[in-house]
Amino acid sequence: MPTLTIEPVTRIEGHAKITLKQDAHGEVTDAHFHVTQVRGFEKFCEGRPFTEMPALMARICGICPVSHLIASAKACDAILAVHIPEAAEKLRRIMHLAQFVQSHALSFFHLSSPDLLLGMDCDPAKRNILGILAANPEMARDGIRLRKFGQEIIELLGGKRIHPGWIVPGGVSEPLTVERRDKILRELPEAKETTLRTLKWFKGTMEKFRPEIRTFANFPSLFMALANPQGALALYKGWMRFVDADGNIVADHIDGADYQHYIGEAVESDSYLKSTYFKPMGYPEGMYRVGPLARLNMCKHIGTPLADEEFAEYRELERHSVWSSFYYHYARLIELLFAVERIELLLNDPEILSKHVRAFAGPNNYEGVGGAEAPRGTLIHHYKIDEDGLITSANLVIATGHNNRAINKGVLQVAKHFVKGSKIQEGMLNRVEAVVRAFDPCLSCSTHAAGQMALHIELMEEDGTVIDVMRRH
């Protein structure tokens, strides 16, 4: 049986390959998404003092260090058994939202917009950020500006853009100054305007992508995200909820500390990425999706005026939950708008300048679980410590792991639809990569250049004879 290998998958965070199997008629019969790198963070933090964990965990990822900081600090809050000051929670929320802005801007503008603006079949030599610069410099400027806006907030609060250490067990290390607050507020109108302009552009272009909308991981599945009593988008705090493809709640009010009763973690021999599943349904039937699509399927409203208007329009896409993973892009932009609006609301709260931003305590529990929504989906950190406060075990459940089964299924769906025959065409394979990009996976949870990586594809007969080769340099 011929096997196609796409390696590496480009314009994603981290290193992966895809293998496609074809039958004698050139029809794709099987597909796998393999993550080919291993990190080992869970292992090498054993023996470290738990108070070091937020700063250590931020090093996992250069794109979403703040999500790891927050999940880690919340796990440590649980070990301390403290309620952090309200101002500290609001400040953490601002930094968290700023990270959504910069991460979603990276995903949409830098990684996916070449496909969306220039087309899936565009010459790969042009289908990149340089192509965007040439075709629509305003869009390129918008992407850079929005990402910068998010990064600058992180820097203003945390002292640096990447791996800030400001979020600590018990709260944050320093209060916000008036000058810094006002500086962020001055930048907000432009960020809002840019996001609205991008949403308008995206909605206007969706019609061109009917085949992709129909086939990009467009199937019923469970969805999981944090939920709150107001039914609004819950990014920082909430309980875990699972809904089915029709939007019916199948499990609700799950405390983060009980995640292991509902979430199982499976390991496949061909990938370093764990696959999580909804335990009551078993593996692999318990496949579910997380991230922007799941979050918008979960909430009844977003919680800010402009984002709610956009959400009302978004909900008209389907009667049931939105299934097509192509709409991750759309959901991502609505979340981006929410983040900008919510940052403004939080900064205008008088309590945000409070000097009381940290609670102090020693360890009062031997175990703590912390969770939050990361840009790509629900993130869980679970630590156990000994009586000296040293980590004895750490388990990290990362968003891309939740989506792993759905990504695999989506790759198969797209490949079956677009990849046919013994002659490989670039556009076919780009769509297989693009469905992966829609999920915005962060495979390494670390900084990796998405740089110019060679693509080497071989189409082989059953006996291993190479019948077609494609190289991209």
Chain residues binding another protein by CB under 8 A are 10-11, 106, 110-111, 128-131, 133, 137, 140-141, 144-145, 147-148, 151, 162, 447-453
b or e along 410-420 (b: 16 or more beta carbons within 10 Å of the residue's beta carbon)? bbbbbbbbbbb
Of 55 and 307, which has the nearer Cβ to another protein? 55
Of 62 and 389, which has the nearer Cβ to another protein? 62
Measured between its terminal Cα atoms, the distance across the chain in Å is 27
Task: Give me the DSSP letters along 107-165.
Answer: IIIIIIHHHHHH-TTS-TTTSSHHHHHHH-HHHHHHHHHHHHHHHHHHHHHHSSSSS--
Shortest distance, position 413 Cβ to another protein, whole Å = 26
Token duo for residue 231: 């039914």
Of 103 and 304, which has the nearer Cβ to another protein? 103
What residues form DSSP beta bridges with 27?
420
Shortest distance, position 473 Cβ to another protein, whole Å = 11
User: Considering only CA atoms, which of 175, 208, 146, 107 is closest in space to residue 337?
Assistant: 146
Token duo for residue 203: 């909605």
Of 18 and 455, which has the nearer Cβ to another protein? 455
Of 142 and 310, which has the nearer Cβ to another protein? 142
Of 78 and 146, which has the nearer Cβ to another protein? 146
Shortest distance, position 222 Cβ to another protein, whole Å = 32
Q: What DSSP character marks residue 440?
A: -
Shortest distance, position 154 Cβ to another protein, whole Å = 12
Residues 45/53, Cβ–Cβ less than 8 Å? yes
Token duo for residue 306: 């402009």
- The per-type count for the chain, helices as H runs and strands as E runs, is 15, 16
User: Considering only CA atoms, which of 230, 200, 436 is closest in space to residue 337?
Assistant: 200
Of 111 and 333, which has the nearer Cβ to another protein? 111
Residue type, 359: A
Shortest distance, position 69 Cβ to another protein, whole Å = 18
Helix (H, G, I), strand (E, B) or coil at 276: strand
Shortest distance, position 303 Cβ to another protein, whole Å = 28
Query: Which of left, alpha, beta for 323 (phi over 0: left; psi -120 to 50: alpha)?
Result: alpha
Shortest distance, position 180 Cβ to another protein, whole Å = 18
Token duo for residue 159: 């002292």
**What residues contact 307, with CB distance under 8 A and at least 6 apart?**
233, 334, 335, 337, 338, 341
- Rounded CA-CA distance 238/114 in Å is 35
Shortest distance, position 451 Cβ to another protein, whole Å = 4
**What residues contact 431, with CB distance under 8 A and at least 6 apart?**
120, 212, 414, 418
- Kindly report the number of other CB atoms within 10 A of residue 350's CB atom: 7
Of 122 and 294, which has the nearer Cβ to another protein? 122
Of 87 and 191, which has the nearer Cβ to another protein? 191
What residues form DSSP beta bridges with 190?
none
Of 134 and 249, which has the nearer Cβ to another protein? 134
Of 96 and 147, which has the nearer Cβ to another protein? 147
- Rounded CA-CA distance 335/327 in Å is 12
Shortest distance, position 218 Cβ to another protein, whole Å = 27
User: Considering only CA atoms, which of 89, 68, 56, 111 is closest in space to residue 430?
Assistant: 111
Shortest distance, position 77 Cβ to another protein, whole Å = 29
- Rounded CA-CA distance 356/192 in Å is 30
Shortest distance, position 173 Cβ to another protein, whole Å = 20
Q: For the chain, what's the residue count?
A: 473
